[in-house]
A and B are shown apart, each in its own frame.
Chain A
Amino acid sequence: MAVTLAQSTSQPKPKRRAAAALAIGLLLATGLLLVIMTLSINFGATDVAPSTVWASLFNYDATSTQHLIIRTLRMPRVLVAAIVGAILALAGAIMQGLTRNPLADAGLLGIESGAALGVVLAITFFEIKTLNLYSIFAFAGAAVTAVLVYSLGSLGRGGPTPLKLTLAGAMITAFCTSFTSAILILNQQTLDEVRLWLAGTVAGRDLGLIAESLPYVGVGFVLALSLGRSLTAMALGEDVARGLGQRTGWVKVIAAIAVVLLAGSAVALAGPIGFLGLLVPHIMRFIVGIDYRWLLPYCAIGGALLLVVADIIGRVVVRPMEIPVGVVTALLGGPMFIYLVRWRVQR
């Protein structure tokens, strides 16, 4: 079968922006992120003034209800959104570069569903309630599914093509989801506990959870950002990269560890959130070009920005109810995916 999926990664456009401009852009984006995060904190059942937000951070008054709300509810929430957004976008960018697959995403490739299954198993059978242990199951689930999807997707003619990887991902997702539902059918209490989490949500987290996840997130983050140069070469094809002196085997291993750490902690923190890892790298590639040394940091900031905004949207549209942020990203990213397929897949 002729597989012609026009890939932006395989046809590098000579898009070179001066390093200075890129650095300034990154700073501006970070500034914008901070502003929107503050806005997100302002926003809620009771609106708080920006000055109060500021005060609660640097001049905490334990007797003020507003300060309490900000410290225990809203700030953790926006932080989780920013962190999860950043790491999912990074994971997506790495997978897209490594497999030269413009349709790669931790959700679409089944990795998140594997992590989710791991967590549900942990809650049901081991009665584990702390994030630290959640995370280990999430990582295990993510790692197993990542390996399975990659090997299944590499079967047959032409190695791991986007089509085969996507299908393998969908298959593994179907499996993990039926397994998850089966467990939940037999266990109503767990169902009630995790159903919101299963939709992907950043609500109801506290600062402790974030602190617990920081080591994993940090390692994943550093590994990911260190891959910039290698991924730029890998995007030209594995043989070319080897010809350019890359030790492709190591690059793959490090990338795999990074993806598992990032996607696993994202799921442990916020449940499975789909399409974000697909959406952000495509937008950023449009802005920055294909140099992964810049693309990766931009993706991190962009992903954080997008998820914080998605969370605000989820809180606004059906006020006073909330749409879980995972549903919002699916509704934003799904059309993007379909657009990519419709216009980029020739045959």
Chain B
Amino acid sequence: MLATDTLTLGYDGPNILDQLSITLPAGQITALIGPNGCGKSTLLRGLARLIKPKHGAVVLDGHDVQRIPTRQLATQLGILPQNPVAPEGLTVRELVAQGRYPHQRWFQQWSAADETAVRSALEITNMVELADRAVDALSGGQRQRAWIAMTLAQETDIILLDEPTTFLDLAHQVEVLQLLEQLNRQSSRTIVMVVHDLNHATRHADHVIALRAGVVQAAGAPRDVITPSLLRAVFGIEAEVIPDPRTGVPLCIPYGLCAAEPTDTLLHADAVGSRA
């Protein structure tokens, strides 16, 4: 189980997250939501030990992740950063094979297990047909699937994703989110993702954590958490929340900004360093 204990994160300048303690339920899909600059990407990067905490710790099954050797941690926790760029000409198969890095040694460069893991990652993501194409020649959705396949080949129980649907058109967004849902249901992997679209969060996540200015405003199942008052508090919007006619999950329909503008105290965390 992944959790944070009084975690404080920041770059040069003021802290972006201060003394944050949260728990990410195992075997579920958790969505981190919040306005730009609320620290959700920073939190995700912190969870993946891409940023060293200034104070506190990220705890995985009772151990501080900073103390776990990074390669060992990579067999338990995988991360897909925002907009990763593949080198020109790299094929999908080669990319996915790189996910096996933490399982390899100089005397164990390509075991039978590596081969099986790559094959199954390609199959699950439906990339078998495209396996010999260059990653940079694929469409946005296919490319994202290729990167997810690489993370899958890593065979970790936990997968963190930073805005996996950004820059994708609607069909590709649905494609990626359904894939994640399928992974979670079939092999009960823990998935944590930063999402921009609230309705994606409510539709595909089991657990939602809403952040504003580095502070958790609410955490829990979408049905319990997503309310007009929360949307007002987190995003500063007036919105109607109605049950989705097909699935019953909450559906947000924004109508306008709040009269009292609560966004003036926003920290500019995203501007500082969440772009990689």
Contacts and interface: CB of A to CB of B under 8 A. Distances in A.
B170 interface: no
B276 interface: yes
B171 interface: no
> Looking at chain B, what size class is its interface with the partner chain?
under 10
A313 B140 CA distance: 58
B260 interface: no
A1 B85 CA distance: 7
A347 B276 contact: yes
A93 to B, nearest CB: 29
Tell me if A's interface is mostly helix, strand, loop or mixed: loop
B246 interface: no
A2 B276 CA distance: 7
A155 to B, nearest CB: 12
A4 B275 CA distance: 10
Contacts of B275: 2, 4
Interface residues of A, number: 4
Interface string B253-276: 000000000000000000000011
Interface string A1-43: 1101000000000000000000000000000000000000000
Contacts of A347: 276
Nearest to A1: B85
Interface in B80-127: 85
Nearest to B87: A1
A132 B183 CA distance: 75
Contacts of A2: 85, 275-276
A220 to B, nearest CB: 40
B200 to A, nearest CB: 25
A149 to B, nearest CB: 22
B51 to A, nearest CB: 15
Contacts of B85: 1-2
A1 B275 CA distance: 12
A347 B275 CA distance: 10
A4 B85 CA distance: 15
Interface of A: 1-2, 4, 347
- Those 3 A-B pairs whose CB atoms lie nearest each other, nearest first: A1-B85, A2-B275, A2-B276
